Chain A
Amino acid sequence: QSVLTQPPSVSAAPGQKVTISCSGSTSNIGNNDVFWYQQLPGSAPKLLIYENNKGLSGIPDRFSGSKSGTSATLGITGLQTGDEADYYCGAWDSDLSIYVFGIGTKVTVL
C-alpha cells in the first residue's frame, strides 16, 4: 500500500484528454513539491513535471501538472499512442523522511 494514492489505470481515445490523480497527506503533497514521471515499456522512468507544475525542458506542453491541498493531478491532452506508459507521482514525506511514489497509473490509448 503506497503513501500516495493513484488510480491503477486510465484510458481514452487518441486526441482525447486524461487526468491522473495523486492523493496524499499534509506530510507529503500538502507541504512538499510533487513530481510526475513517465515510464515507457522496457525503459527507465523519465521526469515529466517537477515542483508541481513545471514541465521539464523538451517535454511537450500536452503534459501539465497541478496541485491543490493534499492532492495533485497530471493531465495529458491530445493523447497519442506514444503516451501509453506507466505514470508515477512522487513527493518527499517529511514525517517518514523518505521519498514516496504512488503505485503508478497505466495509461491506455484506445
Chain B
Amino acid sequence: EVQLVESGGGLVQPGGSLRLSCAASGFTFSIYWMSWVRQAPGKGLEWVANINKDGSKKFYVDSVKGRFTISRDNAKNSVVLQMDSLRAEDTALYYCARRTSGDYWGQGTLVTVSS
C-alpha cells in the first residue's frame, strides 16, 4: 500500500524557516518524481515544487523560488521541502504527492506563519 506521511509543520514567525519531510513507503521510491502541493485555508490547490527521480531536476512555482528548496534521499525514501524567509501567505496545509500529477497524496502538514 502506497503511503506518504508528512511531518515538520508548525507555527513560525515571518522570516523564519521550517523543514518539511515526507516519508514514503509501499512503492519503489527512487523511480518516481515527487511533488509538494499546498492549500491555504479555505482556498484551492497550489502546486509548489517537484523533483525528478535522482534529484537532478527541480521546478518551483514563482512565488517560492529562491526561498524554498526541494530535495530527496532515495536511500531513506524521503523528500524534503526546506522553507526559508517564510511569509504570511505561505500559511497552508502542505501535501506531499507522488508524481508531478499526484497519483497518491499524504494527509498534509499544517504550516502557519504568524507573529
Interface residues of A (CB under 8 A from B): 2, 33, 35, 37, 39, 44-47, 50, 56, 86, 88, 90, 92, 97-104
A33 to B101, CA, bound (A): 9
- Whether the pair A98, B61 counts as a contact (CB closer than 8 A) is yes
Mask of B20-49 contacts with A, CB within 8 angstroms, 1/0: 000000000000000101000000111100
Q: Does B102 contact A (CB under 8 A)?
A: yes
A-B pairs with lowest CB-CB distance, top 10:
A99-B47, A104-B44, A101-B45, A44-B105, A35-B101, A47-B103, A103-B44, A98-B61, A97-B59, A44-B107
Determine whether the beta carbon of B103 is less than 8 Å from that of A56: yes
Main SS of the interface on chain A? strand
Number of residue pairs A-B, CB distance < 8 angstroms = 55
- Select B106's contact among A44, A50, A100, beta carbons within 8 Å: A44
B44–A35 CB distance below 8 A: no
CA distance A6 to B90 in the complex (A): 24
Taking CB atoms, residues of chain B closer than 8 Å to A101 are 44-47
Residues of A within 8 A of B104 (CB): 47
Chain A's closest residue to B106 (CB) is A44
Q: Which of B64-112 contact A (CB under 8 A)?
A: 95, 100-108
CA distance A102 to B46 in the complex (A): 9
* Distance, CA A88 to CA B39, complexed state (A): 12
CB distance from A103 to the nearest CB of B (A): 5
- In the docked arrangement, what's the CA distance between A35 and B35, Å? 15
